[in-house]
Structure 1
Amino acid sequence: MAGSWAEDDYDYLFKLVLIGDSGVGKSNLLSRFTRNEFNLESKSTIGVEFATRSISVDGKVLKAQIWDTAGQERYRAITSAYYRGAVGALLVYDVTRHATFENVSRWLRELKDHTDPNIVVMLIGNKSDLRHLVAVPTEDGKAYAERESLYFMETSALEATNVDNAFAEVLTQIYRIVSKRAVEAGDDAASSSVPSKGERINVKDDASTQKKLGCCST
């Protein structure tokens, strides 16, 4: 749980970014994961905010630094700084607004323009609690994710459904890539490739990471 570790007690620091149209629930996904809070009256994010939370995977503490940005066009000038160093992304749409799903392709293109090609990306269909208003069927989200080699989950920040699972899956996949690379480099290199505290991990392009993608069914 959040707050279980001292602030600096972690093995890896991974930067994640939240992207997607304004109003899809990015800020509430962030606050639900990092503070277990949800605000029905949350205002549009101005500029950039970020929060952190640590989770444990295979006995290692992974600290996520998660950046949240305004989805509005007028804030788009921040992109290169926003994406720099990111090793994971949650691309969010609102299952009740089809236009936000249609814009996923544009967000994905922007993400690929500004990040490493092997960034771990999860497509998130948020607001799954509003079942009677659903405009984007689960099958459509899943099919798009499979076509683009993304992970996929539907979440509800309001009901806290799958929020922890989504972030944890992204962090775990990043960790697996990094630890696999260390093992493949050999034991001597493995010890030297573990980053010092505070160092960001960049997921570099290599053949071993190509297999990591494909839709996650959990």
Structure 2
Amino acid sequence: YVSTLASPNIVIILCGNKKDLDADREVTFLEASRFAQENELMFLETSALTGENVEEAFLKCARNILNKIDSGELDPERMGSGIQYGDASLRQPRQPRGTTTQSKQQCNC
């Protein structure tokens, strides 16, 4: 199981694919949902054919990761966190939720 080898803060989502083929189902929604709950996994049923919940699966993972960063559970600056920033020139400091900063208007003419 992946969580035994990965960071304790790993984000895992179980995707039940082929949601569009309900008549050919081998695992019930309840069975899959219960398995996900027992193993502390997020769960979504998806369909690659129709696209149902495909994007939502990625968004759900990203939201979960961002929430863990905001809460301090994950630190992207710490080696081995499993998170890596992209291009350094694209980085923008994140403000904690609920705080506002005054941004200066800059002309890029």
Q: TM-score range by the shorter chain?
A: 0.5 to 0.7
Equivalent runs, 1:160-199 vs 2, <5 Å: 160-181=51-72, 195=77
1:125 equivalent among 16, 19, 22: 16
Higher helix share: 1
Match of residue 154 from structure 1: 45
User: For residues 194 and 140 of structure 1, what CA distance do their matches in structure 2 show?
Assistant: 35
Where in structure 2 are there 5+ consecutive unaligned residues? 83-109
Match of residue 206 from structure 1: none
1:137 equivalent among 16, 23, 28: 28
Structure 2 letter corresponding to 1:159: T
| 3-state SS, counterpart of residue 72 of structure 2 | helix
Where in structure 1 are there 5+ consecutive unaligned residues? 1-108, 183-192, 204-218
User: For residues 118 and 145 of structure 1, what CA distance do their matches in structure 2 show?
Assistant: 16
| 3-state SS, counterpart of residue 16 of structure 2 | strand
Aligned residues: 82
| 3-state SS, counterpart of residue 166 of structure 1 | helix
Match of residue 112 from structure 1: 3
Equivalent runs, 1:1-218 vs 2, <5 Å: 109=1, 111-181=2-72, 195=77, 202=81
Match of residue 104 from structure 2: none
**How far is 1:149 from its partner?**
1.1
Change in CA separation of 1:201 and 1:163 when aligned onto 2, cut-off 3 Å: farther
Change in CA separation of 1:173 and 1:135 when aligned onto 2, cut-off 3 Å: same
User: For residues 37 and 76 of structure 2, what CA distance do their matches in structure 1 show?
Assistant: 32
**How far is 1:116 from its partner?**
0.6
Change in CA separation of 1:149 and 1:172 when aligned onto 2, cut-off 3 Å: same
Structure 1 letter corresponding to 2:46: T
| RMSD over equivalenced CA pairs, Å | 2.6
| 3-state SS, counterpart of residue 120 of structure 1 | coil
Structure 2 letter corresponding to 1:170: C
TM value normalised by structure 1: 0.34
Change in CA separation of 1:126 and 1:200 when aligned onto 2, cut-off 3 Å: farther
Change in CA separation of 1:114 and 1:137 when aligned onto 2, cut-off 3 Å: same
**How far is 1:114 from its partner?**
2.4
Structure 2 letter corresponding to 1:132: A
TM value normalised by structure 2: 0.66
| 3-state SS, counterpart of residue 117 of structure 1 | coil
